[in-house]
A and B are shown apart, each in its own frame.
Chain A
């Protein structure tokens, strides 16, 4: 065993990890606190989001862009500075400097900073959730869960990195000493989406930082203010400014960042298309770049739910509906296709239709709302296109209409009778549209799933344990959920991430995730000298 190099400030032992409890919103007293938080937030809008390169925060050098409330696009939530090319290079160079110092700290010291950042988030919990309500139209329970997940990532990876620092056991024989240690890789470019605007960038950044890397964060242009809060939390916890930089901006900022030769690891969560571009860009070494870039990618999904003839529809219907329509289906884990045993197609379709019709579409700030607006105009246009196609080539069974005006609202819709080759059944729509298809048996359903390029989440409603075993061994999805919804993975409980074209299989919130951010180094020392073993 290797002795841990602990500095005096390091806590001797972190309490075992447990998930941050979400708000108990079923209690009136807890719900009553939300409105105040939102009012307080609104008073300070719009927020200013600068480019933050080390200690330098530049608010107005280059061009600017706004993030707006998807439920009321007139409301500007944040005014952000768009990072320009020079700032990208400066941020990576600064991170390189920051890496040298940060990587020399013990994992225990780094863990302390991350757990303090988690504490800062706990202290600002409602404020952070309120910001997600406004900037990303996340309904309260979802926004709160996102803040909790961000806290979980900080706490979980902090502990994981301390454990990883001890290295792994190797075979030892007389006369040699073998050690396997994990060293940080260098600078991580974190390119994050808007749909989990705190948790996802936090997870990717926390894993990098916990293991000793420096981070340059390029958040989605739809949620710069949430990203700013993340950087503030990390810095408040004690992560040095040079170790975490923020580059708000549109796609070209991310493109410039991942191409920078000073970047070692790219942690990306987003669409398959952008993910593949990143993989291509990362594969090309630049002049003076003496390392292979590693890409950690979480991409899209076309998530199917299998429903066998013995399923309990009382359970399946609400779970499927919430998996497909909560947060307007804008989760990579959301259910998109129901594959149901033909024996129960009719009752399932009828009950799903009725359940879709009573879905409450509304503003994210209203606790009644299940389906908020989608993130932006382009998203609404995309969802509307697929919906029109589904209506033209298949049948729209039910929808919750009319939807409110003013925001980017899309009516949650249930469609069926689509041709097998329909793009509606193959492509990720990322909106409130769910399709239903009959299957002869579960095996046929598994074959359909296998033919998809994606393998992120899957659902199964079946009560025969033999069916459960069969499907778990047959489907390639990264996360299979049996007799429950397909969303809401918890850190440490459901390591999350997909296979095939859904991602690199790195499993966020799982025991193996940190290995993506380190390079293994083995040291073998000859301990025999003139026939004497010195140990």
Chain B
């Protein structure tokens, strides 16, 4: 919002969080409405099964590890027999396997049994994967994307791929991105008008939207020498920015682990500072609220927007962050202080603080709040309204397969929601899939809390 506009009254709580009765009322009201639109498990028998599987996986650490390691290895298996052997070898490591799995282990004693088990397990993994991955190629994904659009849901395409360890792989990824941009830009021209999804106060929002990973654009991304990977990625990202500008597409640079954050953020801000990109393309960066130093990071981004007024404004996608386990394990192994919040409530509070700071910083930035946490989402909408801004001035984002219910509820209530849609083959998708499964079966995950039927009041309570 315009800085001249007065901020709504807030009072500081002892723990530093902000409490505002009007805001809280609005959050409860909105959250209740959105929650009321979630489909009940009865109406979605397939999702109910998935939810039960997720809950089973969440409740037993050993089993969860075994199942995820299995899901992870399936694409690398050479035969159904190989699939079955891996499954039984992983389950062998679980001290007390649940009865259905015991039965699976018994049938694996014969070759025919293994083939049957392998086929069933591979089908199961494919089923899960297809819930999260919209298609093997951008072309194959187009029908899903246009269906979403027709239902009032925007999308961002993420091209899954193997890790980039060679220059050829980086070139290949850049080429795939360029091709996807062209394909998306051509396809979206035929889509019907959806004003909520394609316009805000600062101008047009491109229909075609591609998320790009810097780690895939160079084999040289190294935490202790960020300049090297940055330079190498820049020569592949620059043509993509030109392509996006020419085809009026949005390009969003994803954030990954902390090891690459400096290189990624510096790269994007440096490239977008070039005069060539002062008037496009529409571009965005990501802010990870689980990082303790994310408020300083946001200030760095906002300082940049003050120094470089560009049209359209930079979009900032606020996320919790998907590498929590990785960051914590790495820090413990190295003896470093944890870079992420270890208490969920602290992270949630920071998410809300950053949300408010971002919403107040408009129109210098466009704001996208990406969360499956009903409280965080309701808070963003409520605060936006409290600032007197229309709902069009806030974008909400969810992940395909994990935020489907929230996505539908948000669209139904007339909010602008964009679904992050991974595209790629099963091998490439596994790292993504396992990260998402881990994230969402952790005991503190919002989705597993929902699966456990936590009362709405608790789900919407201030963190």
Using CB atoms and an 8 Å cutoff, list the residues of chain A in contact with chain B. 18-22, 24-26, 28, 31, 140-141, 309-315, 317-318, 321, 343, 350-351, 353-355, 357-358, 360, 367-368, 463-466
Whether the Cβ atoms of A465 and B89 lie closer than 8 Å is yes
- CB-CB contacts of B299-317 with A at 8 A, as 1s and 0s? 0000000000000000000
B85→A464 contact, CB < 8 A: yes
Tell me which of B82, B224, B226 has the highest count of chain A C-beta atoms within 10 A of its own C-beta.
B224
A310 to B73, CA, bound (A): 7
Cβ-defined partner of A354 (8 Å) among B76, B85, B165: B165
Please provide the 7 A-B residue pairs with the shortest distance between their CB atoms, ordered closest to farther.
A354-B166, A21-B335, A26-B223, A25-B224, A314-B163, A367-B225, A368-B225
Residues of B within 8 A of A466 (CB): 85, 89, 92
B77 at the interface (CB under 8 A from A): yes
Q: What residues of chain B lie closer than 8 Å to A465, measured between beta carbons?
A: 89-90, 92-93
Q: Which of A22, A24, A355 contacts B165 (CB 8 A)?
A: A355
In the assembled complex, the Cα of A248 lies from the Cα of B132 at a distance in Å of 64
Bound CA span A22–B220, Å = 22
Does the CB pair A367–B73 fall under 8 Å? no
Contact call A358/B166, Cβ cutoff below 8 A: yes
Cβ-defined contact, A463 with B72, below 8 A: yes
Chain B residues closer than 8 Å to A311, beta-carbon distance: 76
Contact A354 B167 (CB under 8 A): yes
Contact B162 A313 (CB under 8 A): yes
Q: Is the CB of A317 within 8 A of B165?
A: yes
Is B165 a contact of A26 with CB atoms below 8 Å? no
A350-B166, A463-B72, A463-B86 given; name 4 further pairs at CB < 8 Å: A312-B73, A353-B166, A358-B167, A465-B92
| Contact across chains for B165 and A360 when beta carbons are under 8 A apart | no
Beta-carbon contacts under 8 Å, B276-334 to A = 334
Select B82's contact among A310, A315, A318, A367, beta carbons within 8 Å.
Answer: A310
Find the residue from B92, B334, B431 having the highest chain A CB count within 10 A.
B334
Contact A464 B86 (CB under 8 A): yes
Distance A358 CA – B163 CA, assembled complex (angstroms): 15
Please, how many angstroms separate the alpha-carbon atoms of A257 and B92 in the complex?
Answer: 55
State how many angstroms separate the Cβ of B253 from the closest Cβ of chain A: 18
Residue of B nearest to A369 (CB): B225
Of the candidates A24, A318, A353, A368, the one whose C-beta lies within 8 Å of that of B334 is A24
A385 to chain B, nearest CB (A): 28
Chain B contacts with A in 120-167, Cβ cutoff 8 A: 162-163, 165-167
Chain B interface bracket (under 10, 10 to 19, 20 to 34, 35 or more):
35 or more
Q: Is there a chain A Cβ closer than 8 Å to B259's Cβ?
A: yes
Tell me how many residue pairs across A and B have CB atoms closer than 8 Å: 90
Interface SS of chain B: helix, strand, loop or mixed? helix
Contact of B169 among A18, A31, A354, A464 (CB under 8 A): A354
27 A–B contacts, CB within 8 A, in A order:
A21-B336, A24-B334, A25-B223, A25-B224, A26-B223, A26-B224, A26-B226, A26-B258, A28-B226, A310-B73, A310-B76, A310-B77, A310-B86, A312-B72, A312-B76, A314-B162, A314-B163, A314-B165, A351-B165, A351-B166, A355-B165, A358-B166, A358-B220, A360-B220, A360-B228, A368-B225, A465-B92
Query: Which B residues are in CB contact (< 8 Å) with A354?
Result: 165-169, 219
B80 to chain A, nearest CB (A): 14
B223 in contact with A463 (CB, 8 Å): no
| Other-chain residue from A18, A22, A368 in contact with B227 (beta carbon distance below 8 A) | A368
Q: Of the candidates A313, A353, A357, A367, which one forms a contact with B224 in the assembled complex, judged by CB atoms under 8 Å apart?
A: A367
Chain A residues with Cβ below 8 Å from B431 are 314
CA distance A464 to B163 in the complex (A): 21
Interface membership of B26, Cβ < 8 A: no
Quick check: is B12 within 8 A (CB to CB) of the other chain?
no
Chain A residues contacting B167 (CB-CB under 8 Å) are 354, 357-358
- A142 CB, nearest partner CB in chain B, Å: 11
CA of A360 to CA of B82 in the docked complex: distance in angstroms? Answer: 39
B69 within 8 Å of A by Cβ? yes
Tell me which residues across on chain B come within 8 A of A464, comparing CB atoms: 73, 85-86, 89
| Contact indicator B163/A24 (Cβ below 8 Å) | no
B223 to chain A, nearest CB (A): 4
Q: Which residues of chain A are within 8 angstroms of B219 by Cβ–Cβ distance?
A: 354-355, 358
> Within the complex, what minimum Cβ distance (angstroms) separates B349 from chain A?
24
Is B78's CB within 8 Å of the partner chain A?
yes
Nearest-CB residue, chain A, relative to B431: A314
**A97 nearest CB across to chain B (Å):** 40
Judged by a CB distance under 8 angstroms, whether B262 is at the interface is: yes
Instruction: Name the CB-closest residue of A to B330.
Output: A26
CA distance A456 to B85 in the complex (A): 31
CA distance A353 to B166 in the complex (A): 8
Bound form: Cα–Cα A36–B377 in Å = 47
Identify the interface centre among B166, B167, B169, B334: most chain A CB within 10 Å of its CB: B166
Set B76, B162, B226, B258: member contacting A463, Cβ < 8 A: B76
A315 to chain B, nearest CB (A): 8
Q: Cα distance A343–B89 when bound, in Å?
A: 21
Q: Specify the chain A residue showing the minimal Cβ separation from B336.
A: A24
Complex Cα distance A318/B76, Å?
A: 18
**Given known A-B contacts A21-B334, A463-B73, A309 and B224 have beta carbons under 8 A apart:** no
Give Cα distance in the complex from A360 to B167, angstroms: 13
